[in-house]
Amino acid sequence: MRKSSKPIKERIPDFLDYCEVEKGLSNNTQRNYQRYLKKFEVWLQKKNKQDLKPHELTNDDIWNYRLFLSRTPAEHGKLLSKLTQNYYLIALRALLAYFVAKDISALPPAKVTLPKDTEEARTIKFLDLDQIERLLNSPTSQPASQPASPTELRDKTILETFFSTGMRIAELVSLNREQFDSIEDKPFDSTQGKQDFELGIIGKGNRPRTVYFSERALEWLKKYLKTRRDKEKALFINYRSRTQEDNRLTARSIERIIKKYAVKAGVPFFTTPHTLRHSYATDLLSQGVDLRAIQEFLGHKNIMTTQLYTHVTNKRLRDIHRQFHSGKNLK
């Protein structure tokens, strides 16, 4: 192991290059690492340790950084959640792993420990089917005499796409119109059973997978595409943009759209694009779909990630048992 002559903060760009070239991580993951490590740089600055080198980082530094995270307010004045704190610590651990890979003297990554389990980390937030139906219908719930606008059709299609495919928000943002050229102006052929559509995408970690559009989602997608008179490459665009640049909707814009319709539909305020992904997986699991199949649908690298959803169905089974087989009817 060699001692680095460069401070930790100057090694972070090298780490991000390593993530791209050698680890093959997605641009979104790289941006997240950069954002999370920015917090560590802030801590170094506050402690007047901006010139700290990798081999000078101590266990006490790690502990003090964890205290800093636990006492740092988030955007709305509340403290960072335990789960969010973990994201910052995971990024720091990845940086230390990079030092190990490059034979740079530093603390072992294992020195950055995470809570083994927290209630928040194990809680999957999802909507039931009634709530899903209200949310999906909210963009086009006006009277029949008032046809949906292009924006409402776009938003309806976004919601239907999320629930039909279980896509991550970054995957949906990256969709292009040309991927759907084969569906435009082509009616369904019920005699051939052609009532859905499958699409190959590149997901998290550059892993390819297939996502499936239901007949319902596909019909709305076709209606939306018929309103497009522009030549934009992106599937979902920002109609209000006045620039000549790419009008592709951003992840933040889509999050705001989902939140807007969650309020309108009267569903829980925690609803986000990822909530729809959780709802998609939970619905499949509750219908008896094999966990391995759900892993493929979601694009999870590790089955352990998919197994988080069993907490939901296990609780549901327990509630059913209590209601119908509690022994109360025995004499």
311 is catalytic: no
Asked whether 220 and 157 are in contact (CB, 8 A), the reply is yes
300 is catalytic: yes
Which SS3 state, helix, strand or coil, does residue 209 take? strand
Which SS3 state, helix, strand or coil, does residue 326 take? coil
186 is catalytic: no
Separation of alpha carbons 96 and 107, rounded Å:
7
The residue annotated as part of the active site, out of 82, 111, 223, 274, is 274
Separation of alpha carbons 44 and 325, rounded Å:
58
The residue annotated as part of the active site, out of 154, 156, 277, 278, is 277
Asked whether 295 and 303 are in contact (CB, 8 A), the reply is yes
Separation of alpha carbons 326 and 331, rounded Å:
13
Which residues lie closer than 8 Å to 187 by C-beta, 6 or more apart?
none
The residue annotated as part of the active site, out of 9, 49, 111, 204, is 204
Which residues lie closer than 8 Å to 51 by C-beta, 6 or more apart?
7
Return the structure tokens found at 314.
Answer: 């296990």
Separation of alpha carbons 56 and 51, rounded Å:
10
Asked whether 103 and 2 are in contact (CB, 8 A), the reply is yes
The residue annotated as part of the active site, out of 53, 168, 222, 248, is 168
31 is catalytic: no
Q: Which residues are catalytic?
A: 168, 204, 274, 277, 300, 309
